[in-house]
Amino acid sequence: MRVIAIDGPAGAGKSTIAKALAARLELDYLDTGAQYRAVTFAAIHRGIEPDEDEVVARLAKDVDLDVSERGVFVDGIDATLEIRGPEVTRAVSVVAANPGVRAEMRRRQREWAGVHGGGVIEGRDIGSVVFPEAVLKLYLTASPETRAQRRHKEVSDLKYEEVAAAIAERDARDQGREHAPLRQDDGATVIDTTDRSVDDIVDEIMGMLP
């Protein structure tokens, strides 16, 4: 099974690079952040507080999640757009700190890789925890200003300062949590995507593949 793990903070370029790399390699692509966002959406939808750990962990097991390049469906509801909205974005790092949720997402991610025969998988703990055996582990980063600008372009109804503050808060929570925190795995190659084109970065990664 050939897994390429791409981790890093918000706005580092993971999704863009992972999709482009998967297309070049003709491998499938999995956005694990979308899975955590989908569980968060399900909790909000059912009126469950994100910090109700036991209830949310049970929900993570029961909920029907369909995350693919076609979109994100939660119990059959199309949540593709809403999982990127401010309400989910605000609550997702609380849901992702829940060890019960993480165990279930890990199980689903390994199952996905088994069914798909590997793939390009992006998230926060993919190389460090979920697929330590990945053939290539990358840690993408970019300057805080670049990351905030990229997100600001995507959600233009918020002020730049608001976007920058929200990203900083979410990164701090992802890095500071007890279970599978965001960190640079020792075996991961760090790529700074600030001021670099997608093609250039994908070329570099292609040259690293064993």
Residues that bind ligand CDP (CB under 6 A): 10, 14, 32-34, 36-37, 92-93, 96, 123-126, 170, 174
- Return d(Cα 146, Cα 89) in angstroms, integer: 19
Burial of 207: CB neighbours in 10 Å, binned 0-12, 13-18, 19+: exposed
Nearest CB to ligand CDP, comparing residues 128 and 207? 128
Give the C-alpha separation, 189 to 15, whole Å: 17
- What is the residue whose two structure tokens read 């190659």? 189
Distance in angstroms (rounded) separating the CA atoms of residues 199 and 188: 20
Structure tokens at 99: 């060890």
Least distance between ligand CDP and beta carbon 55 (Å): 19
Q: Which residue, 26 or 185, is less far from ligand CDP as judged by CB?
A: 185
Closest approach of ligand CDP to the CB of residue 48, in Å: 17
The nearer residue to ligand CDP, 26 or 157, going by C-beta atoms, is 157
Q: Give the nearer residue to ligand CDP in terms of CB position, either 51 or 207.
A: 51
Cα(62)–Cα(53) distance, integer angstroms: 14
- For residue 96, give Cα distances in angstroms to 36, 89, 155, 173, 186: 6, 11, 22, 9, 22
Per-residue burial over 120-155, b = 16 or more CB atoms within 10 Å of its CB, e = otherwise: bbbbbbbbbbbbeebebbbbbbbeeebbbebbbeee
Residue number of the CB closest to ligand CDP reads: 33
> Nearest distance from residue 183's CB to ligand CDP, in Å?
12
Q: How far is the CB of 3 from ligand CDP (least distance, A)?
A: 13
Closer CB to ligand CDP, residue 118 or residue 123? 123
Q: Least CB distance from residue 104 to ligand CDP, whole Å?
A: 12
